[in-house]
Structure 1
């Protein structure tokens, strides 16, 4: 692909990202709306969690289970099975343990979401800077190509640099599109696990 076509692709991609962003969150690169935090009311209809707050961290069994359930490498069906087994073995402490478990999941998965979203916005800022640099160097290349006499070594060096930078930009754009799905996946995981916890409490 010719250098100018690659540069045009970068400009098009960066323009798409800019249009997709919510005006309230100028660095947000995803087509999905940015929801900074999951609302507790949206994922939990069980008893109030005010009395457990951060107490889940003090329970070694609960905190270990929260870490396992929150890990995206743990298949959701396996996570749901672990919730059922844990609460079934809780006896008279079932309600208290269920609340601790969900409080831990809510805190942990919200923190995961924030990390992912902050990372996406950092990459978005880098992509904007990269697109600006590519535009600037494309103009420099046009000037070099039209110069008389033409310095072929400089033209080739800048062409190669533009190709390399544009490919990095493209690769990052693909990664961003993939990572943009992660907050939604976390939302779905928390909702599903919350539903199982509430069902087991009944």
Structure 2
């Protein structure tokens, strides 16, 4: 029992220490190793003509809005999305440039919004993790005090140990999810860049 409790204490302190580190001091709630880039720059993903009023008008076109929703969905494979872009613009004939700008403007808006949502969610979870780490740290100190008490109450030690095991497991599970979700903004960047490139190629 003593070995198990000592190991648990060591793990709990490791958990709290991990939560305390921020990868970027400018964004203390940002939990990812990748630098936080709040928004995708238009210039980084679009070398085509000025979008002009397309930035505001794309939502007024039902066909464009529906296609944007399909293309922006991560469940739509990228190759399928690229094919849909080509088919749509091939059928646009004289309106190809106007439709291409509307389509990209919609994708830029929608994917940037998706990205912001994911990043806000990551920061919310990061704050919860920090709170959880503080709680684990406090309960670890309480557990050590219970261990050292004379006479020692083994029932309380067991109860506190089991609680710490549960809380530490939840913390670790969340950390694994965060590590996975940290890849999503980059995936969105890549999707927007790839679709923007196809749109520009189809305009030429």
What TM-score comes out, normalization by structure 2 length? 0.94
- Is 2:157 the partner of 1:155? yes
Contact 1:18–1:29 (CA under 8 A) maintained in structure 2: no
1:73 maps to what in 2?
Answer: 75
Root-mean-square deviation over aligned CA pairs: 1.4
Q: What displacement does 1:55 show? A: 0.8
Q: Deviations over 1:159-191 (max 9, x none)?
A: 110000000000000000000000000000000
Q: 1:143 to 1:33 in 2, by over 3 A?
A: same
Contact 1:3–1:162 (CA under 8 A) maintained in structure 2: no
1:195 maps to what in 2?
Answer: 197
Q: Distance in 2 between matches of 1:38 and 1:4?
A: 47
- Is 2:131 the partner of 1:114? no
Q: What displacement does 1:54 show? A: 1.9
Point out where structure 2 has 5 or more consecutive residues left out of the alignment: none
Contact 2:22–2:28 (CA under 8 A) maintained in structure 1: no
- Is 2:192 the partner of 1:186? no
Q: What displacement does 1:18 show? A: 4.1
What TM-score comes out, normalization by structure 1 length? 0.95
Aligned to 1:97, which of 96, 99, 124? 99
Q: 1:85 to 1:51 in 2, by over 3 A?
A: same
Q: What displacement does 1:149 show? A: 1.3
1:172 maps to what in 2?
Answer: 174
Contact 1:3–1:163 (CA under 8 A) maintained in structure 2: no
1:64 maps to what in 2?
Answer: 66
1:9 maps to what in 2?
Answer: 11
1:39 maps to what in 2?
Answer: 41
Q: 1:76 to 1:135 in 2, by over 3 A?
A: same
2:141 maps to what in 1?
Answer: 139
Q: What displacement does 1:5 show? A: 3.0
Q: 1:177 to 1:201 in 2, by over 3 A?
A: same
1:52 maps to what in 2?
Answer: 54
Q: Distance in 2 between matches of 1:189 and 1:15?
A: 35
Q: Distance in 2 between matches of 1:70 and 1:7?
A: 45
Q: Deviations over 1:24-70 (max 9, x none)?
A: 10000000000000000000000111221221111110000000000
